[in-house]
Homo-oligomer: A and B are copies of this chain.
Amino acid sequence: MFGSILENVRKNSPLVHNITNYVTVNDCANILLACGASPIMSDEPDDVVDITSICAGLNINIGTLNKQTISAMKIAGKTANSLNHTVLLDPVGAGASKLRTETAYQLLEEVKFNVIRGNISEIKTLASGSGSTKGVDADVADKVTEENLDEAVAFAKAFAAKAGAVIAITGAIDIVADAKKAYCILNGHPMMSSITGTGCQLSAMTTAFVAANPDQPLEAASAAVCSMGLAGEIAHKRLSPLDGNSTYRNYIIDAIYHLTPAQLEEGAKYEVR
């Protein structure tokens, strides 16, 4: 199934509008191209309506927020909603500053997201605080492990139900859940955390996967998470003793470029809970 999802990305080549941080934006663009999608970036409030209208998906990432961009995020999000486009939120740093946390809450209030992707700490911040999602028990551990996986899955499903979105919590074990079903994903390599922006890249790619497979957002998001982790595994095997995190970054994008549906089907490591 994940193989056909990737095939759809390659076939439909969705154009993805990214309002994202300036730290990792180039890698986001290149990984979108690598997976078969196309990137476009625009964060000026007066530009985003036109740009998001010609796209299939919108990726909102709050990594280097500024006030003008917040306004662009809301305008673009509402426009994308009205056009029934896929919209994803990456709440980078929610919980780390008041501006980021409150912006994430505002976005959750004003925009309907199809997918929310973050680490456990960011997702807990979102789940515990927003008006519309208040009531979700975010009293789970700060790291998802085999031991607390059931609790984390229950939390992800509960937040998915409240937010009406697929929730992707990424870490050593990734959880991708809607209200009823969760994929627990084991792909990836610890060295991925030594590269800036693997999470941002995954968010961009997830937007493309869901935009190309709008009828199965849970599976599409899970396929994107598996693809990123699998690319991390494939790329790690290529590393020579002198290669470090910069070469690894390039090789991960390269691995997405070459990833085949068969490779993804075979390499995806997950269980459903």
For A249-268 the 0/1 string (1 means CB < 8 A from B) is 11111111110000000000
- Inter-chain contact A100/B47, CB cutoff 8 Å: yes
Contacts of A109 in B (CB 8 A): none
Stretch of A35-43, A79-87, A112-120, A144-152 at the chain-chain interface? A35-43
Q: Are A246 and B23 in contact (CB under 8 A)?
A: no
A67 near B44 with CB under 8 A, answer yes
Which residue of B22, B97, B243, B253 is within 8 Å of A244 (Cβ)?
B253
Q: Is A160 an interface residue (CB 8 A)?
A: no
Interface stretch of the complex, out of A133-141, A165-173, A174-182, A192-200: A192-200
- Which listed residue, B24, B39, B65, touches A26 by the CB 8 Å rule? B24
Shortest Cβ gap from A66 to chain B (Å): 4
- Copies of this chain present in the complex amount to 3
User: A54 at the A/B interface (Cβ < 8 Å)?
Assistant: yes
Q: Which of B21, B41, B44 contacts A41 (CB 8 A)?
A: B21
| Docked pose: A253 CA to B249 CA in angstroms | 11
**B242–A258 CB distance below 8 A:** yes
Q: A201 to chain B: closest CB distance in Å?
A: 11
Q: Which residue of B lies closest to A32 (CB)?
A: B196
Chain B residues near A238: list those with CB within 8 A.
Answer: 242
Bitwise interface map of A from 33 to 61 toward B, beta carbon under 8 Å scored 1, else 0: 11000011111101100110010000000
Q: Does A91 contact B (CB under 8 A)?
A: no
**A66 contacts which chain B residues (CB < 8 A)?**
43-44, 47, 68
Q: Quote the shortest CB–CB distance from A257 to chain B (angstroms).
A: 3
> Once the chains are docked, how many angstroms separate the CA of A65 from the CA of B50?
13
- A50 in complex: contacting residue of B33, B39, B98, B196, CB < 8 Å: B98
